[in-house]
Amino acid sequence: MPSNPLRQSDQDALRGKRADQLSAALWIGVGIIVIQQAESLDYMGEYAPGPGFLLFWLGVVTIALALTLVVRATLDLGGETRLAIPSAHAARQMLLVATVLFAFAFLADKVGFLVCIALMFLFLLLVVEKREWRFSFITALVSACAFWLVFELLLQVRFPPGLLALLR
């Protein structure tokens, strides 16, 4: 007869809660460090947000999400969750997304941010989501234009031009 009065499923749930709480504590620490680092940068530039703006808010959002995780784990608001190993299809999709994000980060300076963002959306919609090519192409084009409109025109944030520098 086992000495622990908790059933195996209860023990697993308790371990899951503890893992979530520990993970949240780690992310709260990361958020605090990010905010501290942001304080050494200018929050606002002369006419636009400075380099510390995004970093500060990234830290704030990280802490807020971590606190949400703590509350969910502590008050058991998440319901019963089980750790599941992804299927081969899901693992392939995760690998494709990670690869395209890596390629985007690596090529954005050389090829250009807007070209890379359009190609990334096109790839994700066509290959990962298996959408129709017309929808994928239009969505990628509209997304790149929206990035250009919001960041380049409205916020005056300059992206690496890459190949688009040839058109200027």
Tens-place pLDDT, residues 115-129: 899 999 999 999 989
Q: Which of 75, 102, 134 is the last residue of a domain?
A: 75
Q: What is the pLDDT of residue 29?
A: 92
Q: Does residue 3 lie in a domain region? A: no
Q: Does residue 156 lie in a domain region? A: yes
Q: For the chain, how big is the Rg over CA atoms in Å?
A: 22
Q: Does residue 81 lie in a domain region? A: no
* Rounded percentage of the chain residues whose pLDDT exceeds 70: 82
Q: Do residues 38 and 52 lie in contact, with contact meaning Cβ atoms separated by under 8 Å? A: yes
Q: Which of 38, 54, 75 is the last residue of a domain?
A: 75
Q: Does residue 82 lie in a domain region? A: no
**For 66-98, what is each residue's pLDDT tens digit?**
999 888 888 876 555 555 677 888 888 989 999
> What integer best gives the mean pLDDT of the chain?
82
Q: Which residues pair with 49 in a beta bridge?
A: 44
Residue type, 120: M
Here the tokens at position 3 are 């000495």
Structural domain containing residue 110: 88-167
Q: Does residue 64 lie in a domain region? A: yes
Scanning the chain, the segments in alpha helix (DSSP H) are 8-39, 51-75, 88-111, 113-123, 133-147
Q: Which of 18, 46, 75 is the last residue of a domain?
A: 75
Distance of alpha carbon 90 from its chain centroid, rounded?
Answer: 18
Q: Measured over all CA atoms, what is the biggest interatomic distance in the chain, rounded to whole angstroms?
A: 79
Strand spans (E) along 23-167: none
Q: Which of 33-37, 49-53, 62-66, 88-92 has the lowest mean pLDDT?
A: 49-53
Of residues 64 and 54, more confidently modeled: 64
Count of C-beta atoms within a 10 Å radius of residue 165 = 9
